[in-house]
C-alpha cells in the first residue's frame, strides 16, 4: 500500500525512468546576504547557502555535470539526470547570465530537466519569461523556500519577504506552466503543531506541485547557532518530529508530491539535533510509524498521544 505520493513515483510517472540529480553551483549569492534586503541571510542558513553537496562553483556547468556523473556512477547506472541549481538564490542575476548557465545545463543530452532553487521575490517578469521559454524545451522545476506561512515567524527567521510574495509568485509560475515545490521547516522556535498545520493548509490553496519538509537543525557558524547558544529553545525529539510530520502530511493535498520528509545537514557542522544525522534510520522509523497509525496522505490517521 502506497501511503503517500513519493518523489520516486512522480519521477517514474513523469519521465518513465529513474533519474538522479546533479547538484550545480552557479556562483550565486542572495539579496538577503549582500545587503540588498538584509545581511546574514536566513538565520538557519549555512555559509554554503544550503549547497554543501554541490560541485565547485569555479568549474563550468558542463564540467560540474561531468564530475557529478562520475561521482554517482557507482550507485546510479542510468543515462539521464536532472541539473539542480541548489546553492543560495539561483535566479538572483541578470537574465543574460541566467540564460547562459541554464542553456549550458539543458544543452547536455543527458540532462532531461532543470531544477532551480530560489526565492519568490527573485523571479522578475523577465526571468519568468526565460523560465517559460526553457520549459518548452525541457521541464523546468522551481523550488522556493517558504519555511512557514506565518509572517511573524518569518520575520524572526530574517526571511525578508512577506508570505503574500510567495502566493503571487507561485500563481505566476503555475500560469506559465512551471512546476513549483515549496520548502517548509517543522520545529521552528515559537511555532506549535497548529501553526505548522496552518502552513500546510495555506499550501493546499496554492498551485503547488511538490513539498520538501525538513526538521529545524542548528549548524555551526550560523545566526541561529548564536541565538541558540544565548537563548536555548526546545528542539523536537525524533518522536515529536515524526508525530508532527505525519499529522501534517495527513492534511496535505493528495496530489502534492512529497519530495523530502527529513533533512540531514552536514555532520561536521551539525550542532543539534544529532539524530537527524542518521537519515536512513529516521526514514525507516517514519515509514514504520505510518504503517502503525494507518496513515495516508490527505486521508486517514490514527491519533497518537505523546
Asked whether 301 and 250 are in contact (CB, 8 A), the reply is yes
Q: 142: which residues sit within 8 A by CB, 6+ positions away?
A: 115, 116, 118, 123, 131, 173, 178, 179, 180, 181
Residue-wise pLDDT tens digits, 97-140: 999 999 999 999 999 999 999 999 999 999 999 999 999 999 99
| Cell numbers at 204, concatenated | 493546499
Residue 53 has a pLDDT of: 53
Give the per-residue pLDDT at 51.
45
pLDDT value of residue 74: 86
Q: Low-confidence residues of the chain, pLDDT below 70?
A: 48-55, 300, 302-306
| Burial (CB count within 10 angstroms: exposed 0-12, middle 13-18, buried 19+), residue 65 | buried
H-helix or E-strand spanning residue 169? helix 163-175
Q: 296 is written with which cell numbers?
A: 495516508
Domain spans of the chain?
A: 7-216+235-264+276-293
The three cell numbers of residue 91 are 535566479
Q: Which CATH architecture has domain 7-216+235-264+276-293?
A: Alpha-Beta Horseshoe (3.80)
Amino acid at each position: 500500500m502506497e501511503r503517500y505520493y513519493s518523489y520516486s513515483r512522480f519521477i517514474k510517472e513523469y519521465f518513465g525512468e529513474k533519474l538522479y540529480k546533479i547538484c550545480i553551483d552557479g556562483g550565486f549569492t542572495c539579496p538577503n546576504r549582500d545587503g540588498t534586503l538584509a545581511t546574514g541571510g536566513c538565520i538557519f542558513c549555512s555559509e554554503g547557502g544550503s549547497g554543501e553537496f554541490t560541485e565547485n562553483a569555479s568549474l563550468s556547468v558542463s564540467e560540474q555535470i561531468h564530475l557529478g556523473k562520475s561521482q554517482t556512477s557507482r550507485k546510479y547506472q542510468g543515462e539521464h539526470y536532472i541539473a539542480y541549481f541548489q546553492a543560495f538564490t539561483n535566479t538572483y542575476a541578470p537574465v543574460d547570465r541566467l540564460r547562459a548557465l541554464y542553456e549550458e545545463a539543458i544543452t547536455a543530452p543527458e540532462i532531461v530537466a532543470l531544477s532551480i532553487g530560489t526565492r519568490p521575490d527573485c523571479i522578475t517578469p523577465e526571468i519568468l519569461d526565460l523560465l517559460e521559454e526553457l520549459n518548452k524545451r525541457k521541464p523546468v522545476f522551481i523550488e522556493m523556500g517558504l519555511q512557514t506561512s506565518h509572517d511573524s515567524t518569518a520575520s524572526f527567521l530574517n526571511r525578508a519577504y512577506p508570505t503574500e510574495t510567495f502566493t503571487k509568485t507561485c500563481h505566476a509560475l503555475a500560469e506559465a506552466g512551471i512546476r513549483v515545490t515549496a520548502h517548509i521547516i517543522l520545529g521552528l522556535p515559537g511555532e506549535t503543531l497548529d501553526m505548522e498545520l496552518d502552513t500546510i493548509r495555506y499550501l493546499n490553496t496554492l498551485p503547488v506541485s511538490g513539498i520538501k519538509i525538513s526538521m529545524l537543525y542548528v549548524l555551526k557558524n550560523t545566526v541561529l547557532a548564536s541565538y541558540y547558544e544565548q537563548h536555548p529553545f526546545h528542539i523536537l525529539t525524533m518522536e515529536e518530529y515524526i508525530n508532527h510530520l505525519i499529522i501534517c502530511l495527513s492534511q496535505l493535498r493528495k496530489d502534492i508530491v512529497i519530495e523530502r520528509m527529513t533533512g540531514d545537514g552536514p555532520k561536521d557542522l551539525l550542532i543539534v539535533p544529532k539524530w537527524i544525522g542518521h537519515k536512513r534510520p529516521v526514514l525507516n522509523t517514519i515509514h514504520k510509524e505510518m504503517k502503525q497509525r494507518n496513515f495516508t496522505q490527505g486521508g486517514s490517521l490514527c491519533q497518537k498521544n505523546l
